[in-house]
């Protein structure tokens, strides 16, 4: 298959859309397909990751979701003869899909429950997706819930990794995503400071689009924490930790897969449902909603978990059973089956079935390895 993906990453929209499209691209390439990303905004470090994954990056000519972007995308999939168009973003109007899908199958990544009815596949990988009613618009084909979470291959390798017996203070990883436009990272660090310098070991990761790196750096230095930026493999850092403080977004699936309890902050309205699931499924606790949450709320949530090791262990077990890290492969397989139909074989299929039966690998795996005569095969099919 040839697959064209349309997604952006920036300080405004964050990097989550692009990162899960990177996971999908890796899954496509692993199964022998060709993938490309059409993008207007993509940090250079992310572009290098796509290129390393053998996903070609094509610069779009206009802002995502507009008429100019629609024309550019339609022309691209026609010229390339793409089999699929994948859209991941909140800016695509219904008319956009109707215009472009006549030339290719369409997979819509839908976090909001608003995907048009005429898409071939609808993907909502969120923890909250399985609680959504199966409405009419999803009946053509829907992929709902963390079983289809688009995580990069390294996450399945770290799935359920036991916490190391390092013998020191609890290790806390702070990561609020690739953008963090409201600088929730600084708020979290002020909350951790209330626990005392010797109570925890803290590693802070900020994304390439973080708007307040200098302020974060100052807090990290003041409290003796560790600061890292634009980390290509977050799975290893999650596995390093005993507890994660992060946003209630797509990264909550990553934390769950590795098996680390989450203290979640809600950074946007569309994260509220995920936050409720994090708490309801026993994957973590919710400290509050930014900007209303206070540093003391973060400190209280962290202290509550650190004071209850049995609860943390239970959360660590629940995560990997909820997210196994194999979602990208399942999504690719679903794409591969769209358009396939099943029917009874007829006499007209005799020759092609005979050729398949006489394939060298087929014969080697059969009870009798000698070639099958066409006349014998035709008689068998007619019987």
Tens of pLDDT along 317-335?
A: 999 999 999 999 999 999 9
Using one digit for the tens of pLDDT, what is the confidence trace for 18-67?
999 999 999 999 999 999 999 999 999 999 999 999 999 999 989 888 99
Domains in the chain with CATH codes: 2-154+326-337 (3.40.50.11190), 157-322 (3.40.50.2000)
Say yes or no to pLDDT of 243 above 70: yes
Which of these ranges, 50-54, 114-118, 188-192, 350-354, has the smallest mean pLDDT? 114-118
Cis bond leading into 352, ω under 30°? no
Using one digit for the tens of pLDDT, what is the confidence trace for 103-123?
899 999 998 877 776 789 999
Global confidence as pTM: 0.86
Contact 99, 65 (CB under 8 A): no
Instruction: Tell me how far apart the alpha carbons of residues 151 and 246 are, in angstroms, rounded to a whole number.
Output: 17
Q: What pLDDT is recorded for position 209?
A: 77
Q: What pLDDT is recorded for position 138?
A: 47
Q: What pLDDT is recorded for position 147?
A: 96
Instruction: Tell me how far apart the alpha carbons of residues 173 and 171 are, in angstroms, rounded to a whole number.
Output: 7
Using one digit for the tens of pLDDT, what is the confidence trace for 74-83?
999 999 999 9
Contact 48, 37 (CB under 8 A): no
Which of these ranges, 125-129, 134-138, 244-248, 263-267, has the smallest mean pLDDT? 134-138
Please state, as a whole number, how many other Cβ atoms lie within 10 Å of the Cβ of residue 122: 24
């Amino acid at each position: 298959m040839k697959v064209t993906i349309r997604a952006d990453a920036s300080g405004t929209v964050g990097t989550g859309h692009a990162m899960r499209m990177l996971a999908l691209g890796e899954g496509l390439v692993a199964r022998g397909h060709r993938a490309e990303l059409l993008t207007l905004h993509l940090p250079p470090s992310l572009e290098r990751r796509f290129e390393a994954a053998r996903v070609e990056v094509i610069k779009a000519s206009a802002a995502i979701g507009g008429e100019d972007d629609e024309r550019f995308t339609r022309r691209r999939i026609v010229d390339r003869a793409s089999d699929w168009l994948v859209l991941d973003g909140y800016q695509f109007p219904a008319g956009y899909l109707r215009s472009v899908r006549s030339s290719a199958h369409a997979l819509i990544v839908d976090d909001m429950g608003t995907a048009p009815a005429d898409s071939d596949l609808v993907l909502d990988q969120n923890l909250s997706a399985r609680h959504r009613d199966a409405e009419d618009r999803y009946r053509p084909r829907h992929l709902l819930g963390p079983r289809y979470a688009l995580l990069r291959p390294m996450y399945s390798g770290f799935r359920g990794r036991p916490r190391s017996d390092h013998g020191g203070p609890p290790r806390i990883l702070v990561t609020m995503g690739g953008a963090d436009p409201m600088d929730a990272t600084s708020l979290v660090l002020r909350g951790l400071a209330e626990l005392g310098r010797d109570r925890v070991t803290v590693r802070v990761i900020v994304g390439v689009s973080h708007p307040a790196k200098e302020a974060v750096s100052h807090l990290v230095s003041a409290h003796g924490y560790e600061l890292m930026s634009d980390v290509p493999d977050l799975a290893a850092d999650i596995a390093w930790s005993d507890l994660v403080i992060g946003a209630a977004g797509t990264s909550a699936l990553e934390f769950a897969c590795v098996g680390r309890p989450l203290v979640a902050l809600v950074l946007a309205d569309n994260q509220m449902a995920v936050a409720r699931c994090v708490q309801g499924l026993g994957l973590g606790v919710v400290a509050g909603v930014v900007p209303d949450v206070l540093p003391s709320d973060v400190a209280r949530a962290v202290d509550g978990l650190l004071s209850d090791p049995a609860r943390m262990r239970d959360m660590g077990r629940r995560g990997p059973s909820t997210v196994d890290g194999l979602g990208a492969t399942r999504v690719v397989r679903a794409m591969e089956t769209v358009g396939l139909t099943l029917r009874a074989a007829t006499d007209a299929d005799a020759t092609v079935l005979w050729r398949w039966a006489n394939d060298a690998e087929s014969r080697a795996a059969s009870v009798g390895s000698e070639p099958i005569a066409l006349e014998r095969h035709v008689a068998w099919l007619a019987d």
